[in-house]
Chains A and B, each alone.
Chain A
């Protein structure tokens, strides 16, 4: 069995936070929408604080022009080499720039967000504290749509 299948089987039955309903934001047409990337890969600039080990619920704001960020998610259980070859496979910032240039999306957000995965199973802090804080920063930048990229 492949390592990916082992991981998927391990995660399939883990307890997850319960949500009784599905929130629903209605975005403007894509050609008018400002789009951000939100990733759980723990990306950060070299001059930003690293993510701690397990249970670091903080986030980093990444500027639109940042490239070659460090992959701060600490797990050994995913392909870490692909990101080194091409950051877009985790953080498709150059693809968004192309889509903005050809008019498919309205604009690339001025700032993007990275959290680190491998959170405690309840994820209370992300849910109640740091998640809403990051969302407020994106809203302040006029973000309408977020693409979420886990590793």
Chain B
């Protein structure tokens, strides 16, 4: 973003960066920076809160009045992430003949479909669509059980995209089931990784891949840092 600020200003467009990494912005001679200490992924701070978002934008536009730069101002309101899992019930075990993660994913399908119908869009689909989530979990179960990843996937394995799609499917279903105002940052993530069978399967598959000495590019982004 800071590079683009330079490029845009050079082209005659005045910029304000809503920066989330203060030390990076400090070192790059960026014309106008509003440093916002919000959870990463939320440059405007609070979803479903137009007043909050307008306050951030007003502070950003204020920097356009500075006569010269660089200008770096700290936005005064801080938003902290919430690390406690989202309160969202999981489906009961239904089919004892299939893996718990697959059973669970199938049980969430109706909620996922309602979420997509409501929003008119889905984040699922980078590697698999909703119909492919169960099979994607099945592959991860095989890796977690000890099969070598090249046996399961062949030479190419895009765990970043696979993990993204499974997590997106779960999070969209969970937001629908939980209802109410948007959860705090990291709450849906904590629910997925700490409470769901799919999250546990993903963690077990990552451990197995690490043991198989799969390239770190495959394993690193299966879970957020710190998990």
Contacts and interface: CB of A to CB of B under 8 A. Distances in A.
Interface of A: 1-4, 6-8, 10-14, 16-17, 19-27, 30, 33, 36, 38-40, 46, 50, 53, 68-71, 74-86, 88-90, 92, 94-96, 98-99, 104-105, 115, 117, 119, 123, 126-127, 131-132, 134-136, 138-139, 143-151
Which size class do B's interface residues fall under?
A: 35 or more
A148 B40 contact: no
B111 to A, nearest CB: 13
Given A99-B54, A135-B11, A146-B8, 13 more contacts: A11-B24, A17-B3, A68-B120, A79-B186, A88-B47, A89-B44, A96-B57, A143-B13, A145-B61, A147-B18, A149-B18, A150-B18, A150-B19
Contacts of A95: 44, 50, 53-54, 57
B209 to A, nearest CB: 15
B163 interface: yes
Interface of B: 1-24, 27-31, 39-48, 50, 53-54, 57, 60-61, 64, 68-70, 80-81, 83, 119-121, 123, 125-126, 158, 160-161, 163-164, 167-168, 171-172, 175, 182-183, 185-189, 221-227
A81 B41 CA distance: 9
Contact of A148 (B18, B83, B182): B18
Given A26-B14, A148-B16, A76 B47 contact: no
B186 A127 contact: no
Given A95-B57, A138-B13, A22 B40 contact: no
12 contacts: A12-B24, A23-B6, A38-B4, A74-B221, A76-B222, A79-B42, A86-B182, A126-B7, A132-B7, A132-B10, A138-B13, A150-B18
A142 to B, nearest CB: 10
With a 10 A CB-CB cut-off, give which of B43, B160, B222 has the most chain A CB atoms.
B43
B20 A89 contact: no
